Structure 1
Amino acid sequence: MDYVEDILWIRNQFKGVDLSDKRLVNRLDNIAYHMMAKPNLSIPKQNVEWKDTKAAYRFFDCPKVQFSQLIEPHINQTKKTVKKMSQILAIQDTTFLSYGHHPSVEGLSDIGGEHGSKGMILHTTLAVNPNQSQPAIIGLLDQYLHHRTGKVDKNESYKEKQQRWRESKIWEEASRRISLDKAKTQIIEIMDREADIFDVISNCLTLKHDFVIRAKNDRILDVMDNKKLFDFVRGIKPSGTIQLELRKRPSQIPRIAKLNIAYARVEILGPKNRKDETIECNVVYVSEKNPPRDQEPLEWILLTSIEVNSFKEACQIVEWYKCRWIIEEYHKGIKTGCKIEERQLKTRERLENFLGVANIVAIRILKIRDYARNMPHISAKKVIEPLKVDILLKYRNIKKKDITIQEYYREVAKLGGFLARKSDGEPGWQTLWHGETELTMMTIGAKMALGEKKCG
């Protein structure tokens, strides 16, 4: 990986975008470059001059600009890369973008919550390369914005429910869109409990996609014995134990968990009125031994199409499912890093277009961070703009001509408030974003002092 200037990288991601006007394409490049430099700041603060700010607002409001157009070139590039690979993880997940604090936005729909919040439902599929020392993001493979219309009749019959379009179909439709014609790439879909739907599983098999899905439903395995999935897997003798680092969550303290691993072959029955349909798959059961007091023990019941005949193969399924955290980091990137939910744009369409640009910015930061994890000892100047590295070294009083990419990111995080104590682990999104913004502002100032025309 050789350093590519941010503006060139951005232009490449939007290369071929169909906006019917070259001026709009140039404006898009400029907006994205400014957003990458200062992702968490307001639109006026991202842009140097008032004319650029006005142009950005006009761009997001332009009827010629649509969300799907903005992300299409990047998705096509991701698919082109994936087709050359033997195996990828396709991680699907849904997140809710809430604008309950900004009720005047036109065109938003009900996304639930205590107070009936208005917002958008974003469903994303990320392509991830699992065959590196640390799994690395390739890019967006698919993305869909859903807006609810009307309310569902609570008294509808099962037949009526099956005949209408349901939100659960989002998962199936995403799987179909990521299929690669004539490619030999093994696609392993990674999905959380919301995707534990018989039709979603069946659809993966029809498309010849493999899957790892965390079970949500206690499915019947045998009608005659009334045998159910959860009791069955909890009765399987563990074949071994592993240790897994659990990240901090609202209801979970960070810790190294000791986990029992068990596996078996199961046959799950179809839903009501379709019990003659069955799916054979494997199940990997993960359960925590001796969790800390006041902590719920970790328990994963993972359904998979992939053969599991040994403890080692079961552990591989766990490793792949663990990669779900990457899409959670991506969601943090657009929410915490690009502050998509805090943007005070007046219409849904403007917010969608802002998101179309912010998506690519979040992917860029994730990809650079992956270099730090997978190639920690390479020179920072091979990945990051050399002037930016020099400014960091000077500001942090580091008496070296260069540092590794891993060292670079820790020093950037310190600019953002990361204390780097032994117990602190790796820096998180917020400190990295704040530190990167601080360093970018210094770099812009240095370029201005050096007389460069392009200073962000």
Structure 2
Amino acid sequence: MIGEIGYFGDARLARNGALLLERMHQRQTVCIRKLTEGRAEQVRFLRFLSNKEVTVEEMISHRALLAGVAAVGRHVLAIQDTSEVNYQAQRRRKHSLGTVGNGTDVGLFIHPVLAVDADNGECLGLVDAQIWRRTTGKAANYKELPIECKESNRWLKGADRAKAVLADAALITVVDDREADIYEKWDRLPDQHTHLLTRACRNRSLGDGRKLFETLASFDEVHRFELDLTARPGKKRIARKATIAVRFGPLTIRRPKSCSDRQASPEIDLFAIEAREIDPPPGQTPIIWRLLTTHRLDSLEKAVTVIGWYRRRWDIEQLFRTLKQQGLRLEQSVLEDGNALEKLAAIALITAAITMQLVAARSAAQQAAPASRVFSSQQLIVIAALLSTRQGRTAKQRNPFPPNSLAAAAWIIARLGGWTGYQSDKSNGPITMRDGLERFYAIADGYHLAAQHLCSS
């Protein structure tokens, strides 16, 4: 069952929030009109979103508790990234918003932290999310300000909150991209329980006087592997099978002049990996990942494992796809107030994370996760009834997962969304899951209406 979204000190508010979350999950939209059964419910939901007692922090922290419980005893990847929600097309109808990345369009920013099991890829849910509106420009002395006064502090804050939520995990690895290559983060966050894995952004100065990128390129090549790259038309990247050369080794980075914390360590010991594409097709920019980590890389096996953890960063990209244009379409919401849009974005993030749990549920190592984590007992009856209608005659088209598992339910939902059931058919991601959920809940509603009619006749 989807469950509560927060307490808010008011049982009525908690019920309305839980109902709004459940409807959003069932109907896979953020449109308030489509989420309600009539005018009265529409008013209830709008009042919930405009109530000052309802906060983004309460909703996110409440859901994070569930991820924290699921993470006990595991090695967890806390994957974080930032995305913007652009409302420029509705600018005249919106108020109390800020500007987004281009400095002119109106919208807001979201920065979630998604928990993923490092060993089997199971999505455990959100452990944090920061949502804000950029209403002021950069200060004239921005570079001299302490990191706590900068928007980039979100990377430290997200990782810090993940450490608190995942305190009972066996190990935490915070995974992020180039924007998070911040010296203060390397200095403050790692401990025996928490490691960092970040794609390098800056060609940092090293303890021996050399530069990071040149030093990485000078390491001996120790391994090659093939990587399937999908096409990215906007970036003019064609789909291809890339050959990747791997180098790795230890190094020491120096505190840069731009570091705002003069008390930070003058040097930090890290390990680094370069994964570079060999002989890309003509006109194509080669893939180059320069990764910095606090994990000790004492073998090729460990280095390849760390590269695999970094590749799981794609999960948060999938989360954004599920949240925005190809999924819940958050950027199309007609809500006018910026404060209400922040709360709607928080509920949409929670919904998208639940969908991601279904997308990842069929990994072989996580078949024991129960379907009751997402579906009610009545909905599980419908899932069981649908099984025989979705399975084919051959072994390749039969549901291979244990009954009542989340993996088995996800298999059926994906089939409802148009997936063929063959492992070779890769069209079974979040968009397929969204379509399957819409169809499933329509079937479930019809089933329960028919059952009620039979009982009353």
Q: TM class by shorter-chain length?
A: 0.7 to 0.9
Q: Secondary structure at the match of 2:9?
A: coil
The whole-number CA distance in structure 1 between the counterparts of 2:364 and 2:12 is: 39
Contact 1:88 1:188 in 2 (8 A): yes
Conserved? CA contact 1:212–1:304, under 8 Å = yes
Residue of 220, 224, 227 corresponding to 1:241? 224
Q: By how many angstroms is 1:218 displaced?
A: 0.8
| Structure 1 unpaired stretches of 5+ | 1-8
Structure 1 residue 189: Cα displacement: 1.0
Contact 1:392/1:439 (8 A) holds in 2: no
In terms of mean alpha carbon deviation, does 296-305 or 374-383 score higher? 374-383
How far did 1:360 drift? Answer: 2.3
Give the counterpart letter for 2:13 in structure 1.
L
Residue 431 of structure 1 aligns with which residue?
432
Moved more, 249-258 or 406-415: 406-415
Does residue 268 of the first structure (1) align with residue 264 of the second (2)?
no
Do residues 10 (structure 1) and 2 (structure 2) align? yes
Deviation at 1:304, TM superposition (A): 0.8
1:119-156 Cα offsets, whole Å, 9 max, x none, are 11111112211122xx11112112111322322245x3
Out of 12, 32, 43, the position equivalent to 1:54 is: 43
* 1:193 to 2:178 alignment: yes
1:361 and 2:351 equivalent? Answer: yes
Question: Which residue of 2 is the match for residue 98 of structure 1?
Answer: 86
What SS class does the counterpart of residue 199 from structure 1 fall into? Answer: helix
For 1:40-82, what per-residue CA distance to the aligned partner results, in whole angstroms no more than 9, with x for missing partners? 2632222233322222222212222121122221112323443
Residues in 2 aligned to 1:265 and 1:118: alpha-carbon distance in whole angstroms: 44
CA deviation map 1:342-362 (0-9, x unaligned)? 111111121122223222222
The alignment status of 1:78 with 2:67, answered yes or no, reads: yes
The DSSP-based 3-state class of the residue aligned with 2:449 is: helix
Cα gap change, 1:53/1:90 in structure 2, threshold over 3 Å: closer, same or farther?
Answer: same
d(CA) in 2 for partners of 1:419, 1:388: 20
The answer to which of 28-37 and 207-216 deviates more is 207-216
Provide the C-alpha distance between the structure 1 equivalents of 2:185 and 2:440, rounded to a whole number of angstroms.
45
* 1:26 matched to 2:9: no
AA matched with 1:173: K
The RMSD of aligned alpha carbons is 3.3
Residue 159 of structure 2 is matched in structure 1 by 175
Larger CA deviation: 362-371 vs 296-305: 362-371
Matches of 2:11 and 2:388 in 1, distance apart? 40
Shift of 1:209: 2.4
Give TM-score scaled by structure 2 length: 0.84
Shift in alpha-carbon separation, 1:48–1:80, aligned structure 2, 3 A = same
Q: Secondary structure at the match of 1:436?
A: helix
Q: Measure the CA separation in 2 of the matches of 1:183 and 1:29.
A: 27
Q: How many residues align?
A: 434
Instruction: Name the SS of the counterpart of 1:91 in structure 2.
Output: strand
* More divergent stretch after superposition (294-303 vs 383-392): 383-392
Q: Which residue of 1 aligns with 2:135?
A: 149
Q: Which moved more, 1:87-96 or 1:385-394?
A: 385-394
User: Hey, what's the Cα distance between the residues in 2 that align with 1:236 and 1:47?
Assistant: 60
The whole-number CA distance in structure 2 between the counterparts of 1:306 and 1:300 is 17
Asked if 1:389 corresponds to 2:390, the answer is no
Range 295-304 or range 38-47, more displaced: 38-47
The one-letter code of the counterpart of 2:187 is S
Does structure 2 conserve the Cα–Cα contact (< 8 Å) formed by 1:380 and 1:389? no
Shift of 1:260: 1.1
- CA offset at residue 452 of structure 1? 6.9
CA–CA separation in structure 2 for the residues paired with 1:98 and 1:153: 24
Q: Is contact 2:117-2:123 (8 Å) kept?
A: yes
Q: Distance in 1 between matches of 2:170 and 2:411?
A: 35
Residue 422 (structure 1) shift: 8.7
The alignment-based identity, stated in percent, is: 23
| Cα deviation 1:234-285 (Å, max 9, x = unaligned) | 1222111123333443433444432111111111111117798111111011
In structure 1, C-alpha distance between the alignment counterparts of 2:129 and 2:204, rounded to whole Å = 30
**Amino acid of the structure 2 residue aligned with 1:177:** R
Separation in structure 1 between the aligned mates of residue 148 and residue 352 of structure 2, nearest angstrom: 35
Alpha-carbon distance in 2 for matches of 1:312, 1:98: 42
Aligned to 1:218, which of 181, 185, 203? Answer: 203
Q: Answer yes or no: is the 8 Å Cα contact 2:359–2:430 preserved in 1.
A: no
Aligned equivalent of 2:58, options 61, 69, 75: 69
AA matched with 2:160 = R
Q: Decide whether aligned partners of structure 1 residues 35 and 247 sit closer, same or farther in structure 2, where only a CA change above 3 A counts.
A: same
**Residue identity in the other structure for 1:122:** I
Report which stretch shifted further, 46-55 or 411-420: 411-420
Q: Give matches, 1:248-267, under 5 Å.
A: 248-250=231-233, 251=235, 252-267=237-252
Matched, 1:205 2:205: no
Match of 1:232 in 2: 215
Contact 1:380 1:408 in 2 (8 A): no
* Whole-angstrom distance in 2 between the partners of 1:81 and 1:415: 28
Cα distance in 1 for partners of 2:446, 2:157 equals: 47
1:36 Cα deviation after fit: 1.3
Does the aligned pair in 2 maintain the 1:380–1:404 contact within 8 Å?
no
CA pair 146-293 structure 1, distance change in 2 beyond 3 A: same
Q: Give the SS at the match of 2:156.
A: helix
Write the letter of the residue equivalent to 2:399: I
The 8 Å contact of residues 81 and 177 in structure 2, kept in 1 or not, is answered as yes
Deviation of 1:31 (Å): 1.7
Matched, 1:348 2:333: no
Provide Cα deviations, 1:314-366, integer angstroms capped at 9, x if missing partner: 10110111111111111222223222111111111211222232222222222
Q: Which residue of structure 2 aligns with residue 4 of structure 1? A: none
The amino acid across from 1:10 in the alignment is I
Corresponding residue SS for 1:179: helix
